[in-house]
Structure 1
């Protein structure tokens, strides 16, 4: 299974998880606690874990071509939810 991972330096990991989960809960299967979340998309899964100084995001898909698409969706939503906080997101796969 294709995998991708990003460690994003931020002190707002918990807030980002909460905002994303509330946003996506209307149309996707979402499981989340204060520091962790799992979002199930039609073409893959996103796991997020907040640490005091970073947000760790892991993506898993069944097909390689879905990985780039899912990275783009998750990244654009993270940037939008972060408001004015600049996020540097580098995917490793």
Structure 2
């Protein structure tokens, strides 16, 4: 299953770096200039930046694990981007969307 969201911000690369660095102490992470992947025990999140913001794509084997992945990623982005108060709307793909 998969879900995605987009956060419009001028600080996308900074948040990408902060998220990857934070999770890199705990789980496997890949981080490049404009993209990254965070591999949580219950799902993964691919991150991409562009000139207008940050895309997050969460993937997991079932809906409960996908929901947990979304909750963890959203919660951390909320903390790191608290000055911008991100309001994320996730779009679900897959059979159980």
TM-score bracket, shorter-length normalisation: over 0.9
Aligned positions, number: 92
Question: How many Å apart are 1:68 and its aligned residue?
Answer: 1.0
Deviation readout 1:14-70 (Å, 9 max, x if unpaired)? 000100111111111000011100010111110000111111100100111111111
The list of structure 1 runs, each at least 4 consecutive aligned residues, that deviate by more than 4 angstroms after superposition, is: none
Extract unaligned runs of 5+ from structure 1.
Answer: none
Report what 1:25 is aligned to.
Answer: 24
SS of the aligned residue for 1:23 comes to helix
- 1:10-89 residue pairs with structure 2 within 5 A? 10-89=9-88
SS of the aligned residue for 2:90 comes to coil
Q: Give the Cα separation in 2 of the matches to 1:50 and 1:80.
A: 18
Whether contact under 8 Å (2:42, 2:68) holds in the other structure is no
Instruction: Give the TM-score normalised by the residue count of structure 1.
Output: 0.94
